[in-house]
Amino acid sequence: MNEERFVRGRMYKCFTRRDGIAILERISRRRGSCYGRPYGSEWKNNGGRHQLKCTADGEVVFVGCLTSSGELIPNGETKSVNGVHMACKKDAYGSPELEVLKKPNEVKCKDAKGQERDPGVEWMDGSIQYKCDKNGEVAVVGCLASSGELIPMGDIKLVGGDDMECKMDANGKPVLKALEIFNRVRCKDADGQERDPGVEWKDGSIQYKCDKNGEVAVVGCLASSGELIPMGDIKLVGGDDMECKMDANGKPVLKALEIFNTVRCKDADGQERDPGVEWKNGSIQYKCDKNGEVAVVGCLASSGELIPMGDIKLVGGDDMECKMDANGKPVLEAFEKPNEAKCKDAEGEERDSGVEWQEGSIQYKCDGNGEVAFVGCLTSTGELIPIGETKSVDGEDMECKTDANGKPVLEAFEKPNEAKCRDAEGQERDSGVEWKDGSIQYKCDKNGEVAFVGCLASTGELIPIGETKSVDGDDMECKTDANGKPVLEAFEKPNEAKCRDAEGLERDSGVEWQEGSIQYKCDGNGEVAFVGCLTSTGELIPIGQAKSVDGDDMECMTDANGKPVLKALEIPNRVRCKDADGQERDPGSVWTAGWFQFKCAKGGKVELSGCFTSSGEIILRGERRTEDGRDLECKVDEKGSPFLDVLAKSSGTKCKDGEGKYRIQGNLSIIYSMVIVPRLVLSLGW
């Protein structure tokens, strides 16, 4: 016997010595190949049962298992071969094997007519769709509307103008009912057209949506290409970064994003590099990051292959490492491998770390510390039983263990006496076995005790002990009686608490109704609870909440006698702002004065929003912008006066005022308009 084997990522040669003992010897890897095979090549191994591949790193990897017909099943995958499900996977010892998958006995379901259904099968019974689950239980999938549309259990769908709900009734049976909608909240678009909740529409270049509360929400902006840019997002459109945002007046707009200053890097020669650009300098590859910092990508081998910083790659038969030297400079050096610890077998032969070999009926391994470790015992058929484990060999359980002297031995495993049970007729039952006795199902547990599993209904369906199931329209419960014996009885439902309305009419638990402008509900305890108040338009305002109705804020509250009432909410006097001309401004309003834009903030405080440039563009307070080659910033000085500062010095583009501050040339009108600033400053509170 002289055969190569691939075991745990290494190649071994299996040969027989003169004394008849089979030896497994590791094959040394040759430089530039995988044990003499070229990179990228694939071949069959282990008697044509496995397929291997040589990677570009010179490593041998396991590709998959080969069937008797030569079909490849990739590692970790399953395939059907001639109707048999085969799986290629690694066993407990890391060796690949092809395993035939056996299906467990499938549990089937019975429909209302007693017909058996396989797991996963769906069927119709009237307007209800059912499914047999993997446990043999019948589950409700949903209800079928008159249009044939399926409404999943618990869902609501619009069918023929009505909202239809598929749900369980009070008896636990699936039903399809029209949902009673008291008040459907709609939205109004800019043209006054009503929109249902969830509906989206376009208005110019903006896309809107009606939310569940009847509020109009902005979805996003539409680019010239028709692409939707969600609100607050930025997308590249036609070479420009376009941003969908709210303007100073709170309206959605789509604007090109202005890039003020791109941070660049400088290479060793002083050449500027844009963020994201990579370049070579000698045998090192660099990159300019987004912060304008130069980063090392990796080292270039003589073959031109890139070795990332901190990585090791095989180049020309040598392991090369890209790393930083003691001075923090990137270098490419040959990687020095630490000396591997070796072991000596019983004959004094050296074994490399990780290598396994046989001595008689025992298999050994050289671990990472140079110590010889026991792997397991070999049976007469050559099968390996790991140390401490048991396997069945020719019908006998064999155990590989260490004896009193710490030496591995293979011995027959003695099973302890299994506990058995006796049924009512005295018949012995093995541990784990179940059986029926009348309408009761029993089981023999591991301690030899008889345990109740459940009760059998007239349909043959098993109801576990302590559970309730619907059988032929009745809820049946399997329980133990006063004597501890299992019995199957009809489940008595407790009386549901009901309520009476003002007219004495009984209302079921959970039902809501209206009396005048008040909406009530019957709770689970049979108590009448307030839900809310109804406006003149029929809109519901929940108790304790307020809503705007025809311009007035209406609140649903309880009066001094505890009765619900709908009252107009008294709004305290709003604090307004006064502009430089003495005109009152509402909170949140925005206005322009000269070259500046102001806003009325909370508490009646006037705040500077931004400054206008000569081109009419606005720069928000504290922000910068480049225009005509000048860096501009909208600021407020220490006296509280707003001004547009020119940050870059450039003759002829700015002036100095009396305090030495630079002002935009041609802004004399700003200086003159500052006659109103003293009054403005007082109202601003600067």
Model confidence pTM above 0.75: no
Sequence-distant (≥ 6) Cβ neighbours of residue 228 within 8 angstroms: 207, 219, 220, 221, 222
**Is the pLDDT reported for residue 686 higher than 50?**
no
Task: Report how far residue 480's alpha carbon sits from residue 440's, in angstroms, rounded to the nearest whole number.
Answer: 11
Comparing C-alpha atoms, which of 480, 511, 477, 471 is closest to residue 493?
Answer: 477
Half-sphere exposure of 541 (CA within 13 A, CB side): 24
Alpha helices (H) along 237-319: none
Cβ(233)–Cβ(221) below 8 Å: no
Q: Cα(627)–Cα(625) distance, rounded to whole angstroms?
A: 6
| Secondary structure letter of residue 674 according to DSSP | G
Q: Predicted confidence band at 550 (pLDDT cuts at 50, 70, 90)? A: confident
Q: How far apart are CA 336 and CA 493, in angstroms?
A: 79
What confidence score (pLDDT) does residue 483 get? 83
Check if the beta carbon of residue 221 is closer than 8 Å to that of residue 253: yes
- Sheet of 96-100: strand order equals 78-81, 84-90, 96-100
Is the pLDDT score of 220 beyond 90? yes
Element (H, E) at 243: strand 240-246
Distance from C-alpha of 208 to C-alpha of 252, rounded to nearest angstrom: 10
What string of DSSP letters covers 103-151? PPPPPPEE-TTS-EE-TT-EEEETTEEEEE-TTS-EEEEEEE-TTS-EE
Q: 46-50, 124-128, 266-270, 593-597: lowest mean pLDDT where?
A: 46-50
- Reported as type and span, the H/E element at residue 178 is strand 174-178
Out of 331-345, 349-363, 503-517, pick the least confident.
331-345
Q: Which of the 8 DSSP states describes residue 676?
A: G
| pLDDT the model gives residue 330 | 92
Tokens coding 642: 């707003």
Which residues are CB-neighbours of 347 under 8 A, at least 6 positions away? none
- Tell me, what's the pLDDT at 683? 29
Quote the percentage of the chain above a pLDDT of 90.
6
- What is the distance between the alpha carbons of residues 88 and 79, in angstroms, rounded to a whole number? 9
Instruction: Tell me, rounded to whole angstroms, the distance of Cα 57 from its chain centroid.
Output: 34
Burial of 524 per CB tally in 10 Å (0-12, 13-18, 19+): exposed
Would you state the pLDDT for residue 286?
A: 92
Interstrand relation of 440-444 and 450-456 (parallel, antiparallel or unpaired) = antiparallel
pLDDT at 513 over 90: no
**pLDDT interval class at 673 (50, 70, 90):** very low
Confidence of residue 219 (pLDDT cuts 50, 70, 90): very high
Nearest to 2 by CA among 12, 10, 577, 206: 12
Q: How confident is the model at residue 140 (pLDDT cuts 50, 70, 90)?
A: very high
Mean pLDDT (the chain) is 79
Question: What is the pLDDT at residue 259?
Answer: 52
Q: What is the pLDDT of residue 13?
A: 62
- With helix as H, strand as E and coil as C, how does 348-371 read? CCEECCCCEEEECCEEEEECCCCC
Cα of 250 vs its chain's centroid, Å: 34
666 phi, psi to nearest 5 deg: 90, 5
Q: How far apart are CA 101 and CA 95, in angstroms?
A: 18
CB 470 within 8 A of CB 138: no
The partner residues of 252 in beta bridges, in order of sequence, read 246
372 pLDDT above the threshold of 60: yes
Predicted pLDDT of residue 19: 65
Can you tell me the distance from the alpha carbon of 72 to that of 70, in angstroms, rounded to the nearest whole number?
6
d(CA 34, CA 389): 35
Given a cut of 70, whether residue 677 has pLDDT beyond it is: no
